[in-house]
Chains A and B, each alone.
Chain A
Amino acid sequence: MAEYELEQGGLRDRPSVTAKVYISATLRSFFDRRTEVEAKGHTVREILKDLQRQYPDGAKLMFDENGGLKGFIRIYAGEEDKTDVSLWDDDISGASGILLLPLVAGGAPQEALISDERRKAESLDDEEVERFNKHLLLREIGVKGQKRIKAARVVVAGAGALGSPVIQYLAAAGVGTIKVVDFDQVTLGNLQSQVIHGVRDVKRPKAASARDTIRNINRKLNVEVEQARLSADNIRSVIEGYDLVIDCTDNYQTRYLINDACVLSGIPFVFGAIYQYEGMVSVFHYRGGPCLRCLFPAPPAPGLVPTCAEGGTISPLSGIIGSIQANEALKLIMGIGEHLDGRLLRVDTLGLHNDLVRVEKNCGCPVCGDQPTITEVWDFDYEEFCGLKEDEQEEPVEGFTPEELAHRIEANEPIRLIDVREPHERAILRFPGATAIPIGQLARRKGELDPEQDTIFICKEGKRSILAIRTLREAGYKGPMYNLKGGIDAMKDIIFSNEGGWL
């Protein structure tokens, strides 16, 4: 190489010139500790070649394995930057001085959930390069990001409305290991929002149906299925060893369970919730950030908030919120962009408002605060907490089964029916002959009830009606009160078969 270069210099038929090259103090130990070295040549190319020949250590410093100049080396002729290869053949023999300097630069690392080590252990084959081409084109993602996605291990809790987009987008994006946890079976009513299931899946386990959909998207992914109800007994083992949990559940009990288990196991989780037309997304317990209990120390007061099953949701809402959850998950995995840790995104799809609310970490938080009182996962008994469950201490609430109530109605017994549901719920399904008093107004309107008459309380699932009876007892109402067990949901097959009560 050196000979060729010298020969080439000779061919040009120019008198040989010796340039003096200043070596930056930071690079001198690779050039025999010299401040200035001499190199033969008229051009940057010739000078570099001569330096390469004279100083093997310097050559190693300046050139990479493929013979290219390393990114941090800069060559100046006077004040002029001659580093770019297109300038290497300019004659610089007249320059006042030639400087070899480092370009000191760098940047903050992107903090990815998947470490560089795990990323480097992955490789992409030709098929994957084709499949994930649109990711590879993105500067922030590229091959490195796609490998992180491939290495990621994610648990999706719930294969329902939110789980549908989350699972499908994680699978499409190439998340290497996806665990789906759901105990439930697909019903016809699920198909309005749970787009991962089809009509053929009705009565099948949701987890199995979700697994089939993932396999249809990408057979190479590792799919794990857990057809179980999350509880204090199993949650730690379900999430242990995974990088991220995505909360796609629909009840407070499981949400608090997931929160506590994730904090105790040191796993961040992406929270998502939907109600009617509104949704929320946040990232909890990410790098010491706040958790669900920092934001909501306790579930909302009993009876105030119907669950999603009771309150209803517009079909695409879960798609919107779930897609944001999946997007957040991918960004966390790759360490790109802004994250929702310490912030709660609220989306109102009816009024078209979005906002970001700051979520502060609570140092008194019972699970992630300075002195935590929750040090192991326990089943947070939401029903007991909310007074929905029969307490042994408390006077039990008597109730009728739908059949018993139907007999009484048919026998024209002197009974009074009180529907404690909200107006929008009654609009869906009216209970014939019932007086409507929403639960929040009961105590105030107890004068409308007749203490001499048997009164039966009705709600959607037979839980709020128990609460209604307790509320009236506390308010001093003494009349006989009964609960409709299982609520209007359990009754509708009997009473509405020929009533035309459906809207």
Chain B
Amino acid sequence: MNDVLEEGLCRELMRAAEAAYPLECCGVLFGGADGRADGFCEAENRAPAGSAGRHFTIDPLWLYRQEQSAGKAGRQIVGFYHSHPDCAAYPSDEDAEGMIPEQLYLILSVREGRCVECRVYRKMSLEPGQVPERFL
């Protein structure tokens, strides 16, 4: 389908986002050596109490363990995903500030319980003020 996402992955992620609605879901995207995402693992949303409808946080130590086990299986983390309940699928200022360059950031827009859009962004360099580029 394209060179960033395995076919079918987007559909699975959309279902996960709908299941989490009205809260944000989040997780990591796995891929092989070519950097193309072909799997995911959902993380617990560790956003502060009461704010999970508009925010997400992935526990760094959970991420560390995911990296370790992925590495053993010869796979790697190629990016992250999260959903925007009742909001468009573009990175907020907060999203953009925290983006690690070269990682894929997949954002899903869920409106009234139905996932309506899925977009992928990537920041290309470390230069301050870099605007994330839309890939998909």
- Residues of A participating in the B interface, judged by any CB pair closer than 8 Å: 22, 24-27, 29-30, 57, 60-61, 64-65, 71-72, 74, 76, 79, 81, 99, 101-111, 116
Contacts and interface: CB of A to CB of B under 8 A. Distances in A.
B88 A102 contact: no
A71 B97 contact: yes
Given A104-B100, A107-B56, 14 more contacts: A26-B67, A29-B102, A57-B126, A99-B61, A104-B26, A104-B80, A105-B58, A105-B94, A106-B95, A107-B47, A107-B95, A109-B90, A110-B92, A116-B93
B41 interface: no
Nearest to B90: A109
A74 B71 CA distance: 21
Given A109-B84, A110-B92, A76 B61 contact: yes
Contacts of A64: 128
B126 A60 contact: yes
19 contacts: A27-B100, A61-B101, A72-B98, A74-B60, A101-B61, A101-B63, A103-B60, A104-B60, A104-B98, A106-B91, A106-B92, A107-B47, A108-B84, A108-B92, A109-B87, A109-B90, A109-B93, A109-B95, A116-B93
Task: Give the top 5 A-B pairs by smallest Cβ distance, nearest first.
Answer: A109-B92, A106-B95, A101-B60, A108-B84, A107-B55
Contact of B64 (A29, A57, A72, A101): A101
Contacts of B93: 109, 116
A108 B22 CA distance: 12
Contact of A102 (B71, B82, B94, B100): B100
A105 B56 contact: yes
B54 A107 contact: yes
B100 A109 contact: no
A91 B130 CA distance: 36
A110 B55 CA distance: 11
Nearest to A64: B128
B100 A26 contact: yes
Interface residues of B, number: 39
Nearest to B92: A109
B115 to A, nearest CB: 14
Nearest to B112: A342
Contact of B77 (A22, A26, A61, A99): A26
A106 B60 contact: no
Interface in B5-37: 24, 26
A107 B61 CA distance: 20
Given A24-B67, A99-B64, A111-B88, A106 B76 contact: no
A72 B99 CA distance: 8
Contacts of A106: 55-56, 82, 91-92, 94-95, 98
A109 B56 contact: no
Nearest to B127: A60
B24 A108 contact: yes
The residue in A26, A27, A105, A111 that gathers the most chain B C-beta atoms within 10 A of its C-beta is A105
